[in-house]
């Protein structure tokens, strides 16, 4: 059983909660579902070979300072109060809401893993992260096109993190995941040493063009220029780091296997209120037709689940809206650099 109904339900990964008149448990599950993207298993078909072996649910947003402090409270393992970093960097503190909804930064790899475990989740592998960002058609940019002005990179000139999800047009077109380019770098589990992938700072790692680095971070940040996710010669938008590294532009997001997560959702009992069900159906529609097989498997394991039934209803509507295909859009920015 995944231990998600503590940290996940109390903090949800999305930037703004909407509990309304629902009881806290039902509202928490809905906010959790709304904060997650469904990413089906599969592999890329063009240019690169990455993928996921199992269906995943993935944080749509980077883990926020609010979520981090909800997990650790006064036992925050970071050596200083990174929540105030944004204000210190620009010389004047932004509003408190800005800080709390900005990505949590400053954790090392072990602390990121610990935070993920506390949420019943884990860090993505390098392949899973790149699969989420590039999609089955191997997008060069997460949004499917150049993202200048659509992502918090150096070109934007803010030189600080922004609240998660601020760049609506920069999300992935197929799964609705935000900030995979820019804002803050993200911890991942590194690829095998002989994977053939290289980091953009390969010269700093003499073994295997970066593959010798003990840890990899992906996606760029507010302090790095916009770059493509990968090139044909195997350079990923990644940098090598030691496992103890900390950075004011380095955060995290989490993933978990989709079917065990869906089965673990505790049924509310007398069914979902109409307004609550409508929100869950909307999540299923966003997850789309590619989630149907996983949802059917979850229904077989938990046939009484109101959550799964509502998600299936929405995913079925998503199937009709897309003619049974996925929501992935073709790249619109030409070929790849060599």
CATH number at residue 189: 3.90.1580.10
Shared-domain flag, residues 149 and 277 = no
Shared-domain flag, residues 109 and 187 = yes
Shared-domain flag, residues 229 and 99 = yes
Shared-domain flag, residues 92 and 128 = yes
In a domain, 7, yes or no: no
Shared-domain flag, residues 130 and 279 = no
Q: Tell me what pLDDT residue 6 has.
A: 46
In a domain, 296, yes or no: yes
Shared-domain flag, residues 86 and 227 = yes
In a domain, 291, yes or no: yes
Shared-domain flag, residues 285 and 194 = no
Give the pLDDT band of residue 15 (cuts 50, 70, 90).
Answer: very low
Model confidence at 250: pLDDT above 50 = yes
Q: Tell me what pLDDT residue 206 has.
A: 67
pLDDT digits (tens, 9 = 90+) for 53-102: 999 999 999 999 999 999 999 899 998 767 666 556 555 566 777 778 89
Q: How far apart are CA 37 and CA 60, in angstroms?
A: 6
Would you say how long the chain is, in residues?
A: 338
Q: How far apart are CA 304 and CA 300, in angstroms?
A: 9
In a domain, 261, yes or no: no
pLDDT digits (tens, 9 = 90+) for 116-146: 999 999 999 999 999 999 999 999 999 999 9
- Among 220, 255, 290, the domain boundary falls at 255
In a domain, 123, yes or no: yes
- Among 255, 280, 300, the domain boundary falls at 255
Shared-domain flag, residues 221 and 150 = yes
Output phi, psi for 308, to 5 deg.
-65, -40
Shared-domain flag, residues 249 and 277 = no
In a domain, 4, yes or no: no
Q: How far apart are CA 48 and CA 53, in angstroms?
A: 16
Query: For 288, how many CA atoms within 13 A lie in the half-sphere containing its CB?
Result: 18
Shared-domain flag, residues 242 and 273 = no
Q: Tell me what pLDDT residue 21 has.
A: 60
pLDDT digits (tens, 9 = 90+) for 20-55: 467 888 899 999 999 999 999 999 988 889 999 999
Shared-domain flag, residues 70 and 205 = yes
Please report which helix (H) or strand (E) contains residue 307, including its range.
Answer: helix 306-321
In which domain, by residue range, is 98 found? 37-255
In a domain, 48, yes or no: yes
Shared-domain flag, residues 219 and 275 = no
Burial 224-241 (b: 16+ CB within 10 A, else e): bebbbbbbeeebbbbbbb
pLDDT digits (tens, 9 = 90+) for 177-195: 999 999 999 999 988 776 7
- Among 228, 255, 282, the domain boundary falls at 255
Output phi, psi for 102, to 5 deg.
-80, 160
In a domain, 226, yes or no: yes
Query: Number of structural domains, the chain?
Result: 2
Cβ-count burial of 260 within 10 angstroms (0-12 exposed, 13-18 middle, 19+ buried)? middle
Q: Tell me what pLDDT residue 11 has.
A: 46
């Amino acid at each position: 059983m995944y231990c998600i109904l503590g940290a996940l339900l109390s903090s949800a990964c999305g930037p703004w909660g909407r509990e309304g008149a629902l009881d806290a448990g039902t509202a928490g599950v809905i906010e959790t579902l709304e904060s997650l993207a469904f990413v089906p298993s599969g592999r890329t078909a063009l240019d690169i070979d990455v993928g996921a072996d199992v269906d995943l649910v993935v944080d749509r947003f980077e883990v926020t300072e609010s979520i981090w402090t909800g997990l650790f409270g006064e036992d925050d393992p970071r050596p200083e109060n990174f929540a105030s970093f944004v204000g210190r960097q620009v010389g004047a503190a932004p509003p408190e809401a800005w800080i709390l909804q900005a990505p949590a930064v400053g954790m090392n790899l072990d602390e990121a893993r610990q935070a993920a475990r506390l949420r019943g989740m884990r860090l993505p592998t390098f392949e899973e992260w790149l699969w989420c960002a590039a999609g089955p058609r191997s997008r060069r940019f997460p949004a499917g096109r150049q993202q200048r002005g659509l992502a918090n990179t150096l070109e934007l000139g803010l030189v600080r993190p922004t609240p998660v999800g601020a760049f609506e047009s920069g999300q992935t077109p197929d799964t609705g995941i935000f900030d995979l380019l820019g804002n803050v770098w993200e911890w991942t589990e590194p690829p095998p040493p002989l994977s053939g992938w290289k980091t953009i700072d390969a010269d700093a790692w003499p073994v295997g063009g970066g593959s010798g680095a003990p840890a990899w971070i992906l996606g760029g940040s507010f302090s790095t220029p916009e770059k493509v996710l990968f090139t044909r010669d195997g350079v990923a938008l990644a940098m090598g780091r030691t496992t103890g590294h900390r950075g004011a532009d380095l955060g995290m997001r989490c993933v978990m296997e989709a079917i065990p997560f869906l089965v673990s959702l505790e049924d509310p009992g007398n069914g979902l209120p109409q307004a609550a069900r409508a929100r869950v159906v909307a999540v299923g529609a966003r997850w789309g037709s590619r989630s149907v097989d996983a949802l059917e498997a979850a229904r077989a394991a938990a046939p009484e689940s109101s959550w799964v039934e509502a998600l299936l209803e929405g995913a079925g509507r998503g199937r009709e809206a897309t003619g049974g295909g996925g929501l992935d859009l073709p790249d619109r920015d030409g070929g790849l650099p060599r």
